[in-house]
Structure 1
């Protein structure tokens, strides 16, 4: 069955593997010069991209739902604790689903996508990024605002 992921999960996996066949399955002899752990990780991701989120679900695979959840967590600025609470609620509501138990498990599942990031602090007044020449600064050289403690008061 050809699932329209809408967010190109299969294409992403194909690019990572440089050797998925037309159906999105990993070819057994795809000429990859990768270690066994990388290939094992790709096979796991490929299986998760085909697994229904819950029996009969056609809108989301396990991987697609997890990527969307983690993206929402990032955009919403959720803490790991708030994300864990949401996962607990979803697991209670959909007990037969393939939803991970906690944020650490979710992160481990998508680790094979190799979509890491570098956290770069910014001045709260948007003067500078604490990067390159300012990477080790503890306060903004422009406005003297602390890198670590916000001066803004919440309403």
Structure 2
């Protein structure tokens, strides 16, 4: 069984990006989904941001077996975000960070629903920065 409580370590990022990570954690922890996402310097799961020459905004890379020894790395692409967010870089960064943490909670991209979802790639990243009711219900469904 996957876990909705875990810690993540900020790696090689400035205080602005640590703030985005902390906002993403709070966005999940302040819902009724029952999550507890902490930030600890000795966590095996990591979060970083950089200027990558790729097409993705964020990348979730898990390893190990879900529910047993799963760890992950999250990378956020500041270069791609800056190129596409216009004056909304802060909002897009918060949305992307919270979305990637959704993957750590076992949520998939582009869920098959007509309801609003943080996990949809086509969401408005300037306004959808927090988990929506659908996302919260999916976490509850996964964890029972």
Verify same fold: TM over 0.5. no
Give TM-score scaled by structure 1 length.
0.24
Give TM-score scaled by structure 2 length.
0.25
Name whichever structure is richer in helix by fraction.
Answer: 1
Q: Which has the higher contact order (CA 8 A, sep 6+)?
A: 2
Name whichever structure is richer in strand by fraction.
Answer: 2
Please say which structure displays the higher CA radius of gyration: 1
